[in-house]
Amino acid sequence: MKLPSNRQNWFAAVAIALTAFAGDVLAQDPYIVRKGHFYVQTSASGAVQHATAPYVFQAQAQVTGMSLNLTTGTSVSLPYVAGDDSYEIVAPFTSKTAMDTAYPNGTYTITGTGQPTRTFTVTPDRYPSDAPAITNGTWSNGVLVINPTQNYTFNLSNFSTYASTGVAGHESFSIDTNSGNGFHQEIATQAVFGLTASSTPLTSVTLPANSLATGNVYQLELQFDTLTTLDVPNSAVALFTNSLEVWVAALAPGTPAMAAPIVTVHPTDKTGTLGGSATFSATVNLGGTGNARQLWYFNGFQIAMGNTTTKYTQGFSNGAFTLTVNNITSADLGTYYMKIVDTGGIAVTNSATLSLGSVSTPTIVTQPLGHTVATGSSVVFGVEATGGNLTYQWKKDGNPIGGATGSQCLVSNAQASNAGSYTVTVSNGSGSVTSSAAVLNVVSSSDPGRLINVSVRIVSGTGADTLFMGFVTGGTGTSGGKQLLIRGIGPTLGAYGVLNVMADPVLDVIPQGASTPLVTNDDWSGDAGVVTVANAVGAFALPSTTSKDSALVTTLNPGVYSAKVSGKNNTTGTVLAEIYDANPGTYSASTPRLINISARATMANDNPLIAGFVVGGTTAKTLLIRAIGPALVPYGVTAAMPDPYLEIIRSGQSSASYSNDNWGGSALVTSVGNSVGAFALTDGAGKDAVLLVTLDPGVYSAKVTGVNNTSGITLVEVYEVP
């Protein structure tokens, strides 16, 4: 059943009718008290009552501060439910007896300061006497199969008590079609809803041809309601309802029979912390086609996933469907399960329980580091802590920094006034801890930190496995050409103990959008210009002037380029692509520089993707470094690395200075990515890896491996953050 609300609604057609009614008669959205009996139908045998919570009591208000006064003399407040955009209580029950014991039939009121008292008569039982059902059609694995290319008539069960009790009877049929509003047909015993009055219930509904897209599944709801209160001046409605859920598969004639989806991994119990989050996941082998529907349930209710809710996040990653419960409160504790529906049928997971666990006092694992940066540049401070349900507050010289409440604190366009001592206090419900101080110095520099050398080493093949290293020259306020030394090294790597080197690499430098190289080199042939620049920038020497390595010196206008290194005559092997700033000690604000590099290659753990880079100058530089796998799939990369792991290792050190597995949807990373022109990462639960770091001058490697020895195509990127 759907989670009740008047927006993403529990009684879909009633709410539609009430909305229309409200526009014509009621002064505002209705206040509602109702009892519901829920059914599902998965075969021609007819409807059965919902297995988990067949009975539900709901009371709903439209403003804050309202209370429901029960027939027992007690009252309960109606809390705000963000996903439903209303104030309500929803109570599920396994039996009618249990519901009537907790919420007896009788007179209820909803009251609040400055609001009129609204009275609801919920007596006697006015449920329609029969279960709603679809009485015709072909069923397969729990779904009703129809031909969407023709008009299709649904035959409905007849309700003898439809028009005989209450102040109004109402019947509605709805299905979520391809149009935004779906398809609805409804009648009432009075014309109060703006509907034609009818004392005879609907016995059939015809869906027009092409309302549904073949290959997709759709949710159908059939409902019969009896209103026992209809207070127009005060917008108050009380009702009893019977509600039926049916899933419809739109399949063209002649479509082969499909298997039902099969759950291969069920959700497991989770322990959360107040204010924290917990993620349930399930893996399903889909049997049908089209828009498989992922539906999560909490204590028997279908969870509403409206645009306004931040309580829940749904996802799909590496074959697993996920539900994350955010900002956990005691009201979120209970059982969760998932239903998957596709054109092959329906599959339901086992239930899993969310419970509370203990929270330890925060412990800082990695302290923030201080840096010296050039005036006008950026710096990022970061902390790593454990303890669960953590909150952060950064401070400068002991004073809180507004908005700096994440694990990282970014200072942009640093000025002398930003210099000082930075700390962060990490807290949770069990206590707090303050980091050591990270000192920021801001200096004027004629030789600020910047990228002066980048390189990528990988086993390069042919076709899609060819090594492409993208790079961007320029920078805000720069102009003129940039002289670069670009090399494709194969044979000389053998002298450093590298096995299976590429015997004869060919180097092409290709401008963005061009089909032919701007410059190219096969064998470097001892080029004197290459030797001079290599010596100046500190590149390792090519000992033989007759080696098959490739190298060239070129001056490029600001723009986007690719350095392609391929094997002559389709040969393969380990190859190193390098780009050097040919004048690393020369800098002015208008001098173009390397501002971005990227490399895409097929990799595995025995063939890691390693991007080396050098931060030159005399001050630290902030960089955004990304290892992209799953986010390549929307761009047509079907063999993408499913779960890359990123490490930043400084030359001379054996362990990583920084590492990241999953980027976690960081708002700061997203904002910085947008500012430097990186393509957006839209899945906050995705497995791509990202680091935002400030690095002191030195030589570094960005190493990418696959979690659990996975392999695939990976993109590594290094962006200058101004």
Contact 135, 201 (CB under 8 A): no
Say if residue 636 is exposed, middle or buried (CB neighbours under 10 Å; 0-12, 13-18, 19+).
exposed
Q: Which of 195, 181, 293, 171 is nearest to 243 (CA)?
A: 171
- pTM for this prediction: 0.57
Q: What is the pLDDT of residue 181?
A: 64
Q: Which of 392, 406, 439, 402 is nearest to 420 (CA)?
A: 439
Of residues 465 and 313, the one with the higher pLDDT is 313
Which CATH architecture is the domain 363-443 placed in? Sandwich (2.60)
State the virtual CA torsion across 186, 189, 190, 194 in degrees, nearest 10. Answer: 0
Q: Which of 172, 173, 144, 149 is nearest to 46 (CA)?
A: 144
pLDDT tens across 111-139, in order? 998 899 999 999 888 888 788 999 999 99
Q: What is the pLDDT of residue 318?
A: 65
pLDDT tens across 496-512, in order? 888 889 999 999 999 99
Contact 381, 369 (CB under 8 A): yes
- Is the pLDDT at 241 greater than 50? The verdict is yes
pLDDT tens across 368-396, in order? 999 999 999 999 999 999 887 789 999 99
Distance CA 679, CA 674 (A): 7
> Exposed e or buried b for every residue in 60-73, given b needs 16+ CB within 10 A?
bbbbeebbbbbeee
Contact 216, 290 (CB under 8 A): yes
614-625 mean pLDDT: 96
- Is the pLDDT at 306 greater than 60? The verdict is no
Distance CA 201, CA 607 (A): 69
Of residues 193 and 523, the one with the higher pLDDT is 523
Grade residue 420 by pLDDT with cuts at 50, 70 and 90: very high
What percent of the chain lies above the pLDDT cut of 70?
92
Distance CA 583, CA 592 (A): 11
Residue with the two structure tokens 């996975």 = 710
Q: Tell me yes or no: is domain 262-356 CATH 3.30.470.20.
A: no
Distance CA 422, CA 382 (A): 10
Q: How many alpha carbons fall within 13 Å on the CB side of residue 76?
A: 17
Residue with the two structure tokens 């009703």 = 144
pLDDT tens across 549-592, in order? 999 999 999 999 999 999 998 888 889 999 999 988 888 888 89
- Is the pLDDT at 8 greater than 70? The verdict is no
**Residues 6 or more apart in contact with residue 552 via CB below 8 angstroms:** 485, 486, 487, 507, 509, 519, 520, 521, 524, 527, 530
Distance CA 517, CA 160 (A): 80
| Secondary structure class of 376 (helix, strand, coil) | coil
Q: What is the pLDDT of residue 7?
A: 26
Long-range contacts of 20-27 (CB under 8 A, 24+ apart): 20/193, 20/194, 20/195, 21/192, 21/193, 21/194, 22/235, 23/194, 24/194, 25/192, 25/232, 26/232, 26/235, 27/233, 27/235
- Is the pLDDT at 352 greater than 90? The verdict is yes
Give the pair of three-digit tokens for residue 64. 């804050």
Distance CA 567, CA 502 (A): 7
Query: What are residue 662's DSSP bridge partners?
Result: none
Least confident span in 400-409, 597-606, 609-618, 698-707 = 597-606
Q: What is the pLDDT of residue 594?
A: 93
Mean residue pLDDT across the chain: 87
Got the DSSP string for 16-30? HHHHHHHHHT-SSSP
Residue with the two structure tokens 């709901």 = 58
Grade residue 48 by pLDDT with cuts at 50, 70 and 90: very high
652-665 mean pLDDT: 89
User: What is the identity of the amino acid at 345?
Assistant: G
Q: What is the pLDDT of residue 139?
A: 94
Grade residue 309 by pLDDT with cuts at 50, 70 and 90: low
Contact 368, 396 (CB under 8 A): no
Q: Which of 226, 127, 124 is nearest to 167 (CA)?
A: 226
- Is the pLDDT at 27 greater than 60? The verdict is no
Q: Where in the chain is the domain with CATH 2.60.40.10?
A: 262-356, 363-443
683-690 mean pLDDT: 89
pLDDT tens across 63-80, in order? 888 999 998 888 998 887
